[in-house]
A and B are shown apart, each in its own frame.
Chain A
Amino acid sequence: MENTFETVRTLIANKLEIDKETITPDSVLTEIGLDSLDTFDIIFEAEDQFGIKVPTPKEEIKTVQDVANLLDQLLLEQSPSLQGQK
């Protein structure tokens, strides 16, 4: 789901005021300037955009792609419209 990564990347670029092209799926969050609290803040904003609710993640969130994967998984579980398409 390319769009989720794109959304996460835009949110991060906006927060850090950096060029979003510098953010790749493998970018490590702490290396680009996001600590764990900043990451929760990004997830919080993504929750609003996607209309989903993210429980405290079980797996370690390390890269930008990890954030996107977490959101994708929840989108499948929580979004009625997407479930209808399955």
Chain B
Amino acid sequence: MSNTRRVVITGMGIVSPLGNSVETFGLNLMQGVSGIKRLENDFSDQLEINIAASADIDGTAHFSKKELAVLDRVSQFALYAAQQALDNAGLDPTNINTDRTGCYLGTGMGGAASTEEGYHRLFRESQSRLKPFTVLMAMNNAAASHIAMHYGLGGPNITYTTACSSSAIAIGEASRQIAYGHCDTMLAGGSEALLTYGTIKAWEALRTLAKVDEQNPAASCKPFSADRSGLVLGEGAAMFVLESYESAIARGATIHAEIVGYGTANDASHITQPSVAGQARAMQAALDNAGLAPEQIDYINAHGTGTPLNDATETAAIKQVFGPHAYELAVSSTKSMHGHLMGAAGAVELVATTLALQAQLLPPTMHLQQPDPECDLHYVANHAAPQQVRYAMSNSFAFGGTGGVIILKKS
């Protein structure tokens, strides 16, 4: 990114199926712990596929009753992750120029539970009135707006919705706000809370969900394995504090990693089927933006959903972009453990990528037992692997075709 400012990550926060702190998430991630389990709630017996990766968080521990009355689960996740990120960055919002601080957030379905609760009241309970806060809880931009209100962030505030790449796009675009000098600090990430009856039913109908592994439900998501059968829905959030390199150095902040490249492109071909050309375009755009040769990338945190089509397509796209180096670099899909967090996936996986750079340890692709001839790269199968990593790429692709790819450099 010539003639632009360097952008660094100085804070991270997370709410996830693998824990609600970066430390816990990292420990579980590197030990191959799966957060996927059978759902046990008032509708789980009505599901054909009753597994998911839910986040275990008690809203009442973090928010007052008055706050909870207007915060959908998706906003609770985002706010809690944002607070962790600010604490981690050692940043007090009252001490920064909040006019030049913004929040970009990605979400696929926003306040899905609030939307569904409204419909439930109207159509199931035949009531004629909805809660006064229904619109405000359901709207997609609520989470980012609450973060701005809570911390007084008067800079740009934009919510991105590009399905499963939403938060990768939000983070990438936020990095540009800093790179181009429009903002000094950005809170960026994603949040998703769509494990509702109606949403899971809609995913069931799409026939992309993984079959339950009856022997071990936690192992149901099997990216790049020949016996993979689909994705597992997850929920959670991850937020980052991004700032200019100069700002981080000036205040003596710990730099977790540097964002050196961001690329986005659209498949422009099919609403669900991924395209090799589209995915390759997004990865190449990120490499071009970083000014890196393909050979310089050591690790790719793959989109790796565990669907038969995605994993084969992504493997082919990596080969197209990286040529012979595709067989040298390491690729892993951490969705095997935390599931597919949809609009929050890119953000949570960027935390995983950052941790890989910091620890020089690659998180594994779990439950990869049966090699697939179409997926013939080095996938860090079943065990974390120590490896020198200087540059790492995080891939996010999506229904609707928008890919978002971010390249990090070890700090």
Q: Are A41 and B65 in contact (CB under 8 A)?
A: no
B residues bordering A, Cβ < 8 Å? 64-66, 69-70, 128-129, 131-133, 136
How many CB-defined contacts (below 8 Å) exist between A and B? 27
Q: Which residues of B contact A37 (CB under 8 A)?
A: 70, 132-133, 136
Q: Are A40 and B65 in contact (CB under 8 A)?
A: no
Min C-beta distance of B65 to chain A, whole Å:
5
Asked if A33 is at the interface of the complex by the 8 Å CB criterion, the answer is yes
Q: Which of B64, B65, B70, B132 has the most A CB atoms < 10 Å from its CB?
A: B132
Once the chains are docked, how many angstroms separate the CA of A14 from the CA of B64? 11
Q: Which residue of A lies closest to B136 (CB)?
A: A37
Q: Are B129 and A41 in contact (CB under 8 A)?
A: no
**From B65, B66, B132, B136, contact of A44 by CB (8 A):** B132
Q: Which residue of B lies closest to A14 (CB)?
A: B65
Asked if A38 is at the interface of the complex by the 8 Å CB criterion, the answer is yes
Mark interface residues in A1-38 (1 if CB within 8 Å of B CB, else 0). Answer: 00000000000001111000000000000000100011
Asked if A47 is at the interface of the complex by the 8 Å CB criterion, the answer is yes
**From A15, A47, A53, contact of B65 by CB (8 A):** A15
Q: Are B132 and A40 in contact (CB under 8 A)?
A: yes
Q: Are A44 and B131 in contact (CB under 8 A)?
A: yes
Min C-beta distance of B38 to chain A, whole Å:
34
Once the chains are docked, how many angstroms separate the CA of A58 from the CA of B69? 25
Once the chains are docked, how many angstroms separate the CA of A33 from the CA of B132? 17
Q: Which residues of A contact B64 (CB under 8 A)?
A: 17
Q: Are B133 and A47 in contact (CB under 8 A)?
A: no
Q: Which applies to chain B's interface (DSSP): helix, strand, loop or mixed?
A: loop
Q: Which applies to chain A's interface (DSSP): helix, strand, loop or mixed?
A: helix
Given contacts A38-B69, A44-B132, 17 further A-B contacts (CB under 8 A): A14-B65, A15-B65, A15-B66, A15-B69, A16-B66, A17-B65, A17-B66, A33-B66, A37-B132, A37-B133, A38-B66, A40-B132, A41-B69, A41-B131, A41-B132, A44-B129, A44-B131
Once the chains are docked, how many angstroms separate the CA of A47 from the CA of B130? 11
Q: Which residues of A contact B131 (CB under 8 A)?
A: 41, 44
Mark interface residues in A26-64 (1 if CB within 8 Å of B CB, else 0). Answer: 000000010001101100100100000100000000000
Nearest 7 interchain pairs by C-beta? A40-B132, A41-B132, A17-B65, A44-B132, A15-B66, A15-B65, A16-B66
Min C-beta distance of B212 to chain A, whole Å:
39
Q: Which of B66, B70, B129 has the most A CB atoms < 10 Å from its CB?
A: B66
**From A14, A16, A17, A47, contact of B129 by CB (8 A):** A47
Once the chains are docked, how many angstroms separate the CA of A44 from the CA of B133? 10
Min C-beta distance of B42 to chain A, whole Å:
20
Min C-beta distance of A14 to chain B, whole Å:
7
Once the chains are docked, how many angstroms separate the CA of A69 from the CA of B65? 25
Q: Which residues of A contact B69 (CB under 8 A)?
A: 15, 38, 41
Q: Which of B69, B70, B128 has the most A CB atoms < 10 Å from its CB?
A: B69
Report 20 cross-chain contacts, Cβ distance below 8 Å, ordered by A residue. Answer: A14-B65, A15-B65, A15-B66, A16-B65, A16-B66, A17-B64, A17-B66, A37-B70, A37-B133, A38-B66, A38-B69, A41-B69, A41-B131, A41-B132, A41-B133, A44-B131, A44-B132, A47-B129, A53-B128, A53-B129
Q: Which residue of B lies closest to A36 (CB)?
A: B132
Once the chains are docked, how many angstroms separate the CA of A14 from the CA of B131? 17
Q: Which residues of B contact A38 (CB under 8 A)?
A: 66, 69
Q: Which residues of B contact A40 (CB under 8 A)?
A: 132
Once the chains are docked, how many angstroms separate the CA of A15 from the CA of B150? 19
Once the chains are docked, how many angstroms separate the CA of A17 from the CA of B128? 29
Q: Which residues of B contact A44 (CB under 8 A)?
A: 129, 131-132
Min C-beta distance of B269 to chain A, whole Å:
44
Min C-beta distance of A11 to chain B, whole Å:
11
Q: Which residues of B contact A47 (CB under 8 A)?
A: 129
